[in-house]
Amino acid sequence: MDEVVFKPVGYVKVLNEREAEIIFRPELKDALDGIEEFSHVFVIYFMHKLLGAEIPVKVHPKKDVSLPLVGVLSSRSPLRPNLVGLTVVELIERKGNVLKVAGLDALDGTPVIDIKPYIPEIDSVPNAVTPAFLRCTEKDNQINFENKNEKIKL
């Protein structure tokens, strides 16, 4: 099998820096029944704006050249062989065939391939392991995020 074709279930409409709507095809409205009982969902989307981009085999995580060069499939780089994005978002509300979410890192007009409910008992892996350089980066990012929030509050 050389090709897999997906039909988008909907599209992203960015509302502001924090919130977006996922507008589903009208015929899928009933397929969303019950989703509003979840606080978070996975959003699987196609990064269409990167079509035609050169896909590297190796990257520096977070484009930080001080971090080691790793295979692109060992990173969260958006430049991937299949341009598929995955994000866990907070589900704010559902109105018919529209989900309002927070934390979606997709662009306006992005095709959504699928969503799945986030289930902590299944989706959280308590003993997961990550490389040491990533743990340092996450700690630094948390400090930077906290400092950024402090600046915003002032």
| Enclosing domain of residue 71 | 10-126
Query: What average pLDDT does this structure show over 112-134?
Result: 91
Mean pLDDT of the chain: 87
Question: Is residue 134 a part of any domain in this protein?
Answer: no
Query: What average pLDDT does this structure show over 98-116?
Result: 98
Beta bridge partners of 99: 22, 94
3-state secondary structure of 21: strand
pTM listed for this prediction: 0.82
Tally of domains within the chain: 1
pLDDT at 62: 84
Read off the CATH number of the domain in which 58 is found. 2.40.30.70
Query: What average pLDDT does this structure show over 81-95?
Result: 96
Question: Is residue 49 a part of any domain in this protein?
Answer: yes
Query: What average pLDDT does this structure show over 52-69?
Result: 90
Question: Is residue 141 a part of any domain in this protein?
Answer: no
Question: Is residue 136 a part of any domain in this protein?
Answer: no
Tokens of 35: 């989703």
- Res. 71: pLDDT tops 80: yes
Question: Is residue 133 a part of any domain in this protein?
Answer: no
